[in-house]
Every structure is written in C-alpha cells, then in structure tokens.
C-alpha cells in the first residue's frame, strides 16, 4: 500500500484520489488515516455498514441472542405478524 503524508494529501488530494488504490496517510511517520477508493453504490453501502458503530452494536446483540437461544424462525415470525 502506498503511503503519503498529510501535507501531500492536503496539497495533492485530487492526485491521491486518482490512484484507484488504498493509500495510507501518515503524520510524523505514524498512520492517521487511509483513503480507500469505492466503486459503485454497493461498495459505498458495504463500507458504511462495516464501519457503522450502530450496526456493529446491533449485530453483536443479535449474536448474543442467537447464542442464548433467543431466536424465532422466519416462518414463526411471519405467522405472528400476518395475523395482526
């Protein structure tokens, strides 16, 4: 992965974006950010879901529920909600 400084990004952001590959951004030699190209709506959506703290909390809660046996089959869920 290519590495650029914060100063380089500030001065040449358009050029950094045109590389079409992930770029690591450093400040005083330490990583502080990454510029990751996204191609199409599906990649944008995947990125947002993967990096959303709220989605992460919901997924962890769902995994706990499954581990503790607190789940309902799709058929049972649909049957319960169709009758409303």
pLDDT tens profile 23-68: 999 999 999 999 998 888 999 999 888 889 999 999 999 999 999 9
Q: Domain span at residue 19?
A: 2-35
Residues 59 and 77 in one domain: yes
pLDDT band, residue 6 (cuts 50/70/90): very high
In this structure, what token pair is assigned to residue 74? 């799709």
User: Do 44 and 77 have their domain in common?
Assistant: yes
Residues 53 and 24 in one domain: no
Confidence at residue 53, expressed as pLDDT on a 0 to 100 scale: 93
| Domain match, 29 and 11 both | yes
CA quadruple 75, 76, 81, 84: dihedral positive or negative?
Answer: positive
**Statement to judge: residues 54 and 22 lie in one domain:** no
Q: What CA–CA distance (Å, rounded) separates 54 from 43?
A: 19
Strands 23-27 and 30-35, sheet pairing? antiparallel
pTM: 0.58
Say if residue 48 is in the same domain as residue 23: no
**What is the model's pLDDT at position 60?**
93
Secondary structure element (H or E) that encloses residue 84, with its range? none
- Number of domains, the chain: 2
Looking at residue 24, what is its pLDDT? 96
* Same structural domain, 73 and 59: yes
Side-chain-facing half-sphere of 28: CA atoms under 13 Å: 0
Residues 45 and 21 in one domain: no
């Amino acid at each position: 992965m290519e590495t650029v400084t914060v100063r380089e990004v500030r001065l040449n952001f358009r050029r950094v974006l045109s590389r079409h590959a992930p770029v690591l951004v450093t400040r005083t030699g330490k990583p502080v950010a990454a510029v990751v190209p996204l191609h199409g709506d599906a990649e944008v959506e995947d990125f947002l879901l993967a990096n959303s703290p709220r989605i992460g909390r919901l997924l962890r809660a769902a995994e706990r529920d499954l581990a503790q046996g607190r789940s309902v089959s799709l058929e049972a869920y649909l049957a319960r909600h169709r009758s409303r």
